[in-house]
Amino acid sequence: MQKFSTVIVGGGASGIIAAISAKRKGISVVICERMGQVGKKILASGNGRCNLSNDKLDESCYNQSARPLVKSVFNRFGRDGIKNFFYELGIKLHSEEGRIFPATNQSSSVLKILEIELKRLAISIELNFDAADISYTRDGFVVTSKSNKKIIGRSLIFACGGKSYPALGSDGSAYKFAKNFGHKIIEPVPVAVPIVIKDPLCHILQGQKIFAKVKSIISGVVIGEAAGDILFTKYGLSGTSILDISEEISVAVNRFNKKDIAVAVDMAPFMTTKELEDELAKRIKKNFSTEDLLVGILPNKFGIAMKDLLKTKDKIAIAGGVKDRRFKVLGTRGWNEAEFTSGGIEVNQVREGTLESKLRKGLYFAGEILDVNGRRGGYNLAWAWASGFVAGEEAANA
């Protein structure tokens, strides 16, 4: 049985930085990673570019219940701390509309520099270590793999991630270990995820992308709004704007089984309703064909897709169908297409400022395993860095 001061379960972003943070305090550290490589999810982040933080980084960018905890962590290691950490390792950064990327625009650069630091600090890494049991004895935390390998640590950090992209290592299997220590799990649901809709418009327009403004409407109330790309697919709607409003929808559908959910799409946000009506009136007066009524306003394919509405030649009805097209939501796509997880270990059971469990001394949490979910734009990876760094320091002092 190998013994270490701190055992970290999970070798993703939060686990790696937790190991570095703890080892810099001079203690022995081991990362137990179920995959054959650490940091696989880092490689996929930011479409392979690694959107590792944001210039506007504060607790307001996270789910309401998590904000006190997030604030307490960012007060110790926030935006400037993250930037300085990577600068000191040798990674140059640049900002695009607030989103922070490595100067190389390659996630592999970020992972490589972290691997260099892990090697420099001689941090032990156990790959293909699939934890089967985690228990606490008077000697410390005992982590047992499915192959019956045992590792013991004075302190333990859960940095196992959520459930999104299970092929990259985080499949939610670690929640059961937290529950064994008495922790409550807020039901995880996929977020930053495409929406399932059965609508003829989606079927006809599949593959078509436009810029639009969208709203999520739950039980008749507008819950979220966003602007950006919308992509019509054979199963419904995707694109950046849809991903940005998907959290409220996913929670309502997947956690609370609500049915009265819709997405309202403004497909011509560059025009007011009155401007569109006036333009349509001119075209109708000039005897534009049905299929050509929206030419130059929307891609040509919309003339075919919306022909039943267009043939009414009713400018008010057509403008309404373009500026406020309602789609009934049936569900969301699954974990393989979700960027993040909403849900996880209840934050009220974790100490602010230290991330130590209130139920078991010496047990810490970092990253997406907690019920902390940020907006798209580098916020979730920033939380992984910040929470991992703080948990590592605290575990080293345990």
pTM of the model: 0.93
Q: Which residue has the tokens 């559908």?
A: 253
Domain with CATH 3.50.50.60 in the chain: 2-189+342-397
Task: Look at residue 170 in the predicted model and tell me its pLDDT.
Answer: 80
Which residues have CB under 8 Å from 187's CB, separation 6+?
254, 255, 343
pLDDT for 206-262, tens place per residue? 999 999 999 999 999 999 999 999 999 999 999 999 999 999 999 999 999 999 999
> What average pLDDT does range 256-274 have in this prediction?
97
C-alpha distances in angstroms, 105 versus 138, 168, 216?
Answer: 47, 20, 32
The pLDDT of residue 46 is above 90: no
Q: Characterize the bridge pairing of strands 150-158 and 2-9.
A: parallel
Rounded Cα distance, 171 and 192, in Å: 17
In CATH, the number for domain 2-189+342-397 is 3.50.50.60
Rounded Cα distance, 333 and 320, in Å: 28
Tokens of 288: 């534009």
Other CB atoms within a 10 A radius of the CB of residue 237 amount to: 25
